[in-house]
Amino acid sequence: MPLVTTAEPRPTNFRFRCIACGNLNETANQDFRCANCNDLLEITYPCWKSALADPEKLKSAWRQRRVSLRPDDLSGVWRFRELLPELGDDQQIITLREGNTPLYELPRCAGLTGVPGLFAKHQGMNPTSSFKDTGMTVAATFARRAGFRWVACASTGNTSASMAAYAARGGLLSLVLVPEGKISWSKLSQALDYGAVTCQLRTDFDGCLRLLQELVLRAPVYQLNSINPFRLEGQKTLAVELLEQLDWQPLDHIIVPGGNLGNSSAIGKALLEMHELGLIPRLPKLSVIQAEGANALVRTLREADGRRLIGVQAETRATAIRIGNPASWKKAAHVIAATGGACEQVSEIEIAQAKAEIGAEGIGCEPASAVTLAGLKKLVKQGFVKPEETVVLVLTGNVLKDPDYTIDFHRGELFKGTTDEGASIALNPLRRAPVVLDATLDAVIRTLEREEKT
């Protein structure tokens, strides 16, 4: 089995640690599982405390890099390289200038939820239009450094788009496994354009991931799913950049969508590490929201107290999070508990409504991202989020990632023939269906007048 080693070209600042038995290692097998107990690995930094003893110095270095033109400083990920696995050679970085994503105020959604301090961190503004790029720059870089020619992933679409792009930039070959008919055309088209070998498998995401896990043990391909701990290290920087954008002022809640649960694990790890290093005085609560039809973590925490995974047969139109057996469920359960966060589920109708409301802010996002706003409404109702608190929703993907969903919604076709059809009528005021007219001035003016009256 090929080894992914940290032992070259010089001593590094990190080790692999098993999340279950704590076993520490300088190397990891290609399945990124513990050789003792088979659980997932995470990256840990044994000498951090002494090396990064001055948080103000770190903040100042990161601020200064914002005016630098070095490729690693232009990346919103590598700019925070002190918190990442050490590479040793900056020239090896594969970057598309990921990160550096905007933090938007959401005044209309703030009004709807009764939380004035509401923001959106829009990870859909990354180079391939999803949050995956922040992790991919790190993992693809380490894949190339470890000498692999092939990288591979199972995906609901965004990982594959991102992986294909970074592989292409880094001169690597990429293999994509996606569930046939269950990913959006936008995402599929990205993987094709960036040159990936794309296999549409007759199964769901969980089936694709299972197959990938077997494949990496048989063939010299480097796995770029979020089981790969380098991915999570890159995705951590979202939280660092966010706190910097808030001028390191305390923040109360971060709300993220949950699918395979890599992103929530990464953000939670960043919060715990920043707290440990004295970069933030207190921990924001990290909450994870899932679609009702893909609610494995919700059920795992409620019905099994987080002790064993309760897998589900996933079904949701938010295809990015159509995942029934999330790989990183233990990591996510840990960071939710450690930060005092919550885990909630939202219905298909609630997702569609929240997506239209975020769209009406002039921002937009893909359906999976909209679960955050839908979840926030529930958390406010439950009293878990208080009106005076500061809340950041993590919007994980761009509105253009799934145009079919948006068009179906506005045309009133999203819920046709489903049990939600009746209830979805309540969403009519949010719909903006296109109108087909004769090409006359009269027809356009009549349309304007009609809109004025409504």
- Binding residues (CB under 6 A) for ligand F0G: these are 130, 155-159, 226, 257-264, 320-321, 366, 368-369, 396-397
Q: Shortest distance, CB of residue 358 to ligand F0G, whole angstroms?
A: 13
Q: Which is nearer to ligand F0G, 155 or 186 (CB)?
A: 155
Q: Shortest distance, CB of residue 454 to ligand F0G, whole angstroms?
A: 33
Strands (E), 136-281: 150-154, 173-179, 197-201, 221-223, 253-257
Q: Shortest distance, CB of residue 196 to ligand F0G, whole angstroms?
A: 13
Distance CA 149, CA 173 (A): 6
Phi-psi region at 198: left, alpha or beta (left = phi > 0; alpha = psi -120 to 50)? beta
Q: Which is nearer to ligand F0G, 55 or 207 (CB)?
A: 207
Q: Which is nearer to ligand F0G, 145 or 401 (CB)?
A: 401
Q: Which is nearer to ligand F0G, 233 or 389 (CB)?
A: 233
Q: Which is nearer to ligand F0G, 130 or 295 (CB)?
A: 130
Q: Which is nearer to ligand F0G, 127 or 257 (CB)?
A: 257
Q: Shortest distance, CB of residue 153 to ligand F0G, whole angstroms?
A: 7
Cis previous bond, 9, omega within 30: yes
Distance CA 404, CA 185 (A): 8
Q: Shortest distance, CB of residue 297 to ligand F0G, whole angstroms?
A: 9
Torsion 239-51-337-295 (CA) sign = positive
Q: Which has the closest alpha carbon to 260: 155, 118, 376, 144?
A: 155
Q: Which has the closest alpha carbon to 369: 453, 272, 255?
A: 255
Q: Shortest distance, CB of residue 426 to ligand F0G, whole angstroms?
A: 25
SS3 109: helix
DSSP for 341-385, written as a single string: --EEEE-HHHHHHHHHHHHTTT----HHHHHHHHHHHHHHHTTSS
Phi, psi (deg, nearest 5) at residue 259: -125, -95
